[in-house]
Structure formats: structure tokens, C-alpha cells
């Protein structure tokens, strides 16, 4: 094939970015692909003044692109999971390869879409679905192919990282920073996806499936958002030598696989702790290579376009050499390579930060210490602040050693029953990320 023809659906931020980068870098991209690449059909409900599609066929009905016999690769850049799912299915049924930036679609429907693609002899690629412009899917699938991955931990939602960074650096309030992230276009259409960790969970599931060679299992991810993190937690963490990051963690243990997204205290000296603003980063620990870190823009028009075009070039290379792109090459196992249990959060072992409000009177700390001692949980550090003027309660912050989550939940429930402890206890997991 000397020319590979693309159908591009969606002229939003990513669609427009892809169209423009492809036009701007056409000669380099064609040289790498070994063939010409041309957008022959755009499907979009409306035009976008940010890209000039006047020389291309444009359909308001995006399904016409999926059925267009001229199109070899369909780029699904509309987002969401309703129409996008139908569109990708239609494209597969019409023998098109698909490239998508849609993490929700892959995380929630990837297993069935890949099975359909395999049966139809086409491929569905999704580099842009995780961490924007960072080529992390290719790194796991290709660069680390000779390794056994032990664990990975990533800042994989730019909006959440922007919020936590602004809270730490400028002492700003959560809701104030979220409003700015929305204005800047970082946040999802529904920002609860960002702040409640759903967006990160979508991305984590995709990374874990490739890292551990298993099917996508979105329903098994433990997900906790950042909405309950207060500025004082950010400050206490700092006092203890940590920073709070919203991490997606996938870890292989003897008992099973951990899949979890939650705010995490990590040592301020580690590289991930210094990934700020909307940037993303993924740290991978594997047996042969050791630790590798992948850093870059996790969102935005052209960074995401960069990842979309990497998939397009991969597919086009194969098509130009008359090699059929396959689902097997994507690295997600349709069946787990070895049987793998996803661990319930109660079974996961981490150290923990706890913040509580305690009565400022003798005997309270010994009651607190007794509960930890009875639960066989060892305390690593403890900070008690003086009461604010006019207050009878004082903030108490405790850092525990590593312990099973179920044990810690039970101890926290006991603490909350003490008359000397007011309200709910804030718990944040702690990771050393040192291999
Ligand atoms: N809302 C996402 C983020 C966009 O903030 O990371 C990129 O997936």
C-alpha cells in the first residue's frame, strides 16, 4: 500500500490537534511510515475554526466515515462511551483498523472490542488513551517486553495533579483550583471523573493489562478521589517529609494483583513527588531493567495528537508492508497469562497517615496508642499541634508502619468511637516507591 487513508471522527481539542500535526509534519510522518498518510474523510457534528478541513470530505454523520470504503484507519476522537462504542464497532465491522484516544472506552469495553477486532482481522490501538503524549503503552509493550513488571505507579490525571500542586505551592483551596482547571480545559467534561479518580482508574486498568498480560478489569479497581484532602494534610505531609500525589498503583504480589487509585503520601525526595502542575509521570519497576520513569504532558491537543499519530504510523507501516496489524500485538491478553486474582483493598499492605481531632486533656494519647498497640500496628511518627486560640481540640497526625489495610480500617473505626476523638479520621496511604 503506497497510501494509507484516514477517516478522522471528532474535531474537538484532540481531533483538531491531530489534523493539524499530521498536516504540519506530513513529510516526516510519511517517511517514518513508509507510505503517504492522508485524511480523506472527517466526521464531525460541527466545524472547528482551529483546523482547516476545506480540502477534505466532511460528514456531519460520523458513521459515514466508518462505512466509507476508501478509509483504512478510523481515528475515534469523539470521546464518551455511547456513540464512540457504536462508531468503533461499525468501523470494525467494516474492516477498518481503529486508533482511539478514549480511555473510558478501552477500560470499560476494551475486552469485547478487541475480541470483535480480532475476529474481523483488524486492530484497535490506544496509545493516546493513557498519559497523553507520554509513549507509556509502547514502553510497556515494546521497550520493556523482556521484563517481568513488578509494579507501576503513576500520576495519570493532570487535573488532579494541578489541584494538589496549587494547594501545596500556593495554599489555594480545592474548589478554587478545580474551577481554574476547568477554565484551562484540563478537566474532563464531568470533572468528578478527574477528582474522584475515575479517569485515573480507566488509565490504570489499561496500563496494568499490558504490564501483567491480563484482560482489562475496570470493575476491580479500588478508587478514592482527592476531594477530602485538606490544605492542612498537604502541610502536615510536608512537615513529615512527604508530598501528597494522586497515584494509580498496580502491583504484582504473591497473593494477587493490587489495582488502586488514591491520594498517597510519597517521600518528597522521589522523582514522582516532583512532578507538578498538569504533568503526568509513570514509574515502572521491572526485574531486568529496574526502575524507569516516563514523564511528560498528560493532556492537551498536540501532546495527545503525538500519541494518536504514533499509533497511526505503526499501523501504516504494517499496511505499507502488507503485514496485517493484529490484536495480539497490542499486549492485552484476552485471557490472563497466569491466573491472577485482583486483591480487595482490605488485603493491601501500606503504611498510613491518619489525621484526627483529639480533646486536649491528659490520657487521650495513651488511649490512642493503646488502640494501635492492640491492633499490632506500629507507629512511625506522631505530631500533635497546640490548640488554636479558643479551641479545646488539637489536630493529631500519626504515621504508621506498613500494615494490612483491613487491620487499619478496624483500628480507625475504634479510634472514631473514642469520646475524646471528634468526627471522622482522615486516612491517606503512604508509599516509599523504592522498589
Ligand atoms: N482530564 C484528563 C486529565 C485529560 O486531567 O488528565 C487527559 O486524559
Residues 289 and 223 in one domain: yes
- Give 163 Cα–ligand 1 centroid separation in angstroms: 12
- Give 159 Cα–ligand 1 centroid separation in angstroms: 6
Residue to mutate, 187, 275, 297, ligand 1, most ligand atoms under 8 Å from C-beta = 187
Q: Is 54 exposed, middle or buried (0-12, 13-18, 19+ CB in 10 A)?
A: exposed
What local confidence, expressed as pLDDT, does residue 334 receive?
A: 73
Q: Residue 268 maps to which CATH number? A: 3.30.360.10
Residues 310 and 293 in one domain: no
CA 2, CA 225: separation in Å to the nearest integer? 48
Position 220 in a domain = yes
What local confidence, expressed as pLDDT, does residue 119 receive?
A: 96
Cell of 322: 502488507
Position 343 in a domain = no
DSSP per-residue letters across 343-373: PPGGG-EEEEEEEEEEESSTTHHHHHHHHHH
- Give 180 Cα–ligand 1 centroid separation in angstroms: 14
Residues 115 and 231 in one domain: no
Ligand 1 neighbour 298 (Cβ under 6 A): yes
Contact between 162 and 277 (Cβ < 8 Å) = yes
Ligand 1 neighbour 299 (Cβ under 6 A): yes
pLDDT in tens, 173-207: 888 899 998 888 788 888 999 999 999 999 999 99
Position 341 in a domain = no
Residues 118 and 177 in one domain: no
Residues 178 and 246 in one domain: yes
Give yes or no: 203 in active site: yes
Regions of the chain with pLDDT less than 70: 336-339, 435
Residues 146 and 213 in one domain: yes
Domain final position from 336, 357, 389: 336
What local confidence, expressed as pLDDT, does residue 324 receive?
A: 81
Residues 128 and 161 in one domain: no
Tell me, what DSSP letter sits at residue 49? T
- Give 70 Cα–ligand 1 centroid separation in angstroms: 33
Number of structural domains in the chain: 3
Residue to mutate, 136, 186, 203, 226, ligand 1, most ligand atoms under 8 Å from C-beta = 186
Residues 123 and 141 in one domain: no
- Give 66 Cα–ligand 1 centroid separation in angstroms: 26
Ligand 1 neighbour 186 (Cβ under 6 A): yes
Angle at 424 between CA 418 and CA 425, to 5 degrees: 85
What local confidence, expressed as pLDDT, does residue 388 receive?
A: 78
Residues 261 and 383 in one domain: no
What local confidence, expressed as pLDDT, does residue 339 receive?
A: 61
- Give 84 Cα–ligand 1 centroid separation in angstroms: 18
Residues 37 and 158 in one domain: no
Query: Which atom of ligand 1 is nearest the CA belonging to 304?
Result: 7
Q: Which domain holds residue 354?
A: 349-430
Residues 17 and 124 in one domain: yes
What local confidence, expressed as pLDDT, does residue 385 receive?
A: 84
Contact between 280 and 127 (Cβ < 8 Å) = no
Residues 36 and 78 in one domain: yes
Query: Which atom of ligand 1 is nearest the CA belonging to 181?
Result: 5
Position 367 in a domain = yes
Residue 186 has phi, psi (to 5 degrees) of -80, -35
Position 234 in a domain = yes
What local confidence, expressed as pLDDT, does residue 163 receive?
A: 95
Q: Rg of the chain over CA atoms, in angstroms?
A: 24
Ligand 1 neighbour 196 (Cβ under 6 A): no
- The number of helices, as runs of H, and strands, as runs of E, in the chain is 14, 17
Closest Cα to atom 4, ligand 1: which residue?
Answer: 299
Position 269 in a domain = yes
Ligand 1 neighbour 302 (Cβ under 6 A): no
Q: Residue 55 maps to which CATH number? A: 3.40.50.720
Position 245 in a domain = yes
Position 96 in a domain = yes
Catalytic, out of 138, 203, 245, 279: 203
Amino acid at each position: 500500500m503506497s497510501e494509507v487513508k484516514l477517516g478522522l471522527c471528532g474535531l474537538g481539542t484532540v481531533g483538531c490537534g491531530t489534523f493539524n500535526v499530521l498536516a504540519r509534519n506530513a513529510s516526516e510522518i510519511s517517511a517514518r511510515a513508509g507510505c503517504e498518510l492522508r485524511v480523506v474523510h472527517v466526521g464531525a457534528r460541527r466545524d472547528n475554526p482551529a483546523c482547516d478541513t476545506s480540502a477534505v470530505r466532511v460528514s456531519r454523520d460520523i458513521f459515514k466515515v466508518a462505512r466509507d470504503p476508501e478509509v483504512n484507519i478510523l481515528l475515534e476522537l469523539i470521546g464518551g462511551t455511547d456513540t464512540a462504542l457504536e462508531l468503533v464497532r461499525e468501523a470494525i465491522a467494516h474492516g477498518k483498523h481503529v486508533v482511539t484516544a478514549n480511555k473510558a472506552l478501552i477500560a470499560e469495553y476494551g475486552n469485547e472490542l478487541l475480541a470483535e477486532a480480532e475476529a474481523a482481522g483488524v486492530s484497535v490501538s490506544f496509545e493516546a488513551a493513557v498519559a497523553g503524549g507520554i509513549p507509556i503503552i509502547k514502553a510497556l509493550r515494546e521497550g520493556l517486553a523482556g521484563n517481568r513488571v513488578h509494579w507501576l505507579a503513576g500520576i495519570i490525571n493532570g487535573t488532579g495533579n494541578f489541584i494538589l500542586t496549587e494547594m501545596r505551592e500556593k495554599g489555594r483551596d480545592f474548589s478554587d483550583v478545580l474551577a481554574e482547571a476547568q477554565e484551562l480545559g484540563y478537566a474532563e467534561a464531568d470533572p468528578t471523573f478527574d477528582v474522584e479518580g475515575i479517569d485515573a482508574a480507566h488509565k490504570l486498568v489499561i496500563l496494568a493489562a499490558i504490564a501483567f498480560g491480563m484482560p482489562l478489569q475496570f470493575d476491580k479497581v479500588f478508587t478514592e478521589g482527592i476531594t477530602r484532602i485538606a490544605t492542612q494534610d498537604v502541610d502536615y505531609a510536608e512537615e513529615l517529609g512527604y508530598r501528597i500525589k494522586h497515584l494509580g498503583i498496580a502491583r504484582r504480589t504473591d497473593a494477587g494483583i493490587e489495582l488502586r487509585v488514591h491520594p498517597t503520601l510519597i517521600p518528597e525526595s522521589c522523582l514522582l513527588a516532583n512532578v507538578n502542575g498538569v504533568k503526568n509521570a509513570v514509574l515502572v519497576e521491572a526485574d531486568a531493567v529496574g526502575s524507569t520513569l516516563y514523564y511528560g504532558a498528560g493532556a492537551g491537543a498536540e501532546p495527545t495528537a503525538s500519541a494518536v499519530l504514533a499509533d497511526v504510523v505503526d499501523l501504516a507501516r504494517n499496511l505499507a508492508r502488507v503485514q496485517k496489524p493484529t490484536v495480539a500485538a497490542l499486549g492485552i491478553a484476552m485471557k490472563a497469562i497466569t491466573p491472577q486474582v485482583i486483591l480487595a483493598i482490605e488485603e493491601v499492605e501500606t503504611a498510613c497517615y491518619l489525621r484526627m481531632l483529639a480533646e486536649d486533656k491528659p490520657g487521650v494519647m495513651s488511649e490512642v496508642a493503646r488502640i494501635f498497640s492492640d491492633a499490632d500496628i506500629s507507629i512511625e511518627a506522631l505530631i500533635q499541634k497546640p490548640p488554636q486560640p479558643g479551641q479545646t481540640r488539637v489536630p493529631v497526625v500519626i504515621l504508621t508502619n506498613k500494615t494490612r489495610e483491613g487491620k487499619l480500617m478496624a483500628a480507625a473505626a475504634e479510634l472514631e468511637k473514642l469520646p475524646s476523638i471528634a468526627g471522622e479520621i482522615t486516612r491517606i496511604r503512604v508509599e516509599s516507591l523504592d522498589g
